[in-house]
Chains A and B, each alone.
Chain A
Amino acid sequence: MTRSVVITGVGAVTPLGVGARALFERWARGESGIEEGLGRCSEFDPTERMSKKEARRADRFTQLAVTAAGEALESAGWNGSPPVEPERVAAIIGTGIGGLESLGTQQDVLRDEGPKRVSPLAVPLMMANAGSAAVAMRHGLTGPSFATASACAAGTDAIGTAMRMIQSGQADAAVAGGAEAALTPLARSAFAAMGATSESGISRPFDARRDGFVMGEGAGVLVLEDAEIARARGAEVLAELRGYGASSDAYHLTAPDPEGSGAARAIEIALEHARVAPEDVDYVNAHGTSTPLNDRSETEAIKHALGEHSTEVPISSTKSAIGHLLGAAGAVEAVATVLAIRERLAPPTLGWEAREEGLDLDYVPGKGRELPEGAIAISNSFGFGGHNAVLCIGAA
Chain B
Amino acid sequence: MPATVTKENVQETIVEAIAKLGPDPSEITPDATFESLEIDSLDLVELAQVIEDEYGVAMKSEDASRLQTVQDAVDLVVERAS
Contact = CB atoms under 8 A, between A and B. Distances in A.
Interface of A: 51-53, 56-57, 116-117, 119-121, 124
A235 B32 CA distance: 45
Contact of B22 (A53, A117, A124): A53
A349 to B, nearest CB: 44
Contact of A52 (B22, B45, B49): B22
Contacts of A57: 42
B81 interface: no
Nearest to A52: B22
Nearest to A53: B22
B38 interface: yes
Q: Which of B21, B45, B46, B49 has the most CB atoms of chain A within a 10 A radius of its CB?
A: B49
Contacts of B38: 53
B42 A121 contact: yes
B44 to A, nearest CB: 9
Contact of B45 (A53, A56, A120, A124): A120
Contacts of B23: 53
A52 B43 CA distance: 14
A120 B42 contact: yes
B46 A120 contact: yes
A99 to B, nearest CB: 15
A121 B46 contact: yes
For the complex of A and B, 7 pairs with smallest distance between CB atoms: A53-B22, A120-B45, A120-B42, A52-B22, A117-B49, A121-B42, A120-B46
Contacts of A52: 22
Interface in B1-51: 21-23, 38, 42, 45-46, 49
A135 B53 CA distance: 34
Contacts of A116: 49, 52
A119 B45 CA distance: 8
A56 B22 contact: yes
21 contacts: A51-B22, A52-B22, A53-B21, A53-B22, A53-B23, A53-B38, A56-B21, A56-B22, A57-B42, A116-B49, A116-B52, A117-B49, A117-B53, A119-B46, A119-B49, A120-B42, A120-B45, A120-B46, A121-B42, A121-B46, A124-B42
Contacts of A53: 21-23, 38
A172 B11 CA distance: 51
B31 to A, nearest CB: 21
A117 B52 CA distance: 10
Given A116-B49, A117-B49, A121-B46, 11 more contacts: A51-B22, A52-B22, A53-B22, A53-B23, A56-B21, A56-B22, A57-B42, A117-B53, A119-B46, A120-B42, A120-B45
A307 B74 CA distance: 74
Nearest to B48: A120
B22 to A, nearest CB: 3
Interface string B44-80: 0110010011000000000000000000000000000
Contacts of B52: 116
A124 B42 CA distance: 10
Contacts of A56: 21-22
Contacts of B21: 53, 56
A120 B41 CA distance: 9
A121 B42 CA distance: 7
A108 to B, nearest CB: 15
A117 B42 CA distance: 13
Contacts of A51: 22
Nearest to B24: A52
Nearest to A117: B49
A57 B45 CA distance: 14
Contacts of A119: 46, 49
B76 to A, nearest CB: 19
A102 to B, nearest CB: 14
Contacts of B45: 120
B55 to A, nearest CB: 15
A51 B42 CA distance: 17
Nearest to B53: A117
B45 to A, nearest CB: 4
A116 B42 CA distance: 14
Q: Which of A51, A53, A57, A121 has the most CB of B within 10 A?
A: A53
A54 to B, nearest CB: 8
Nearest to B22: A53
Nearest to B37: A53
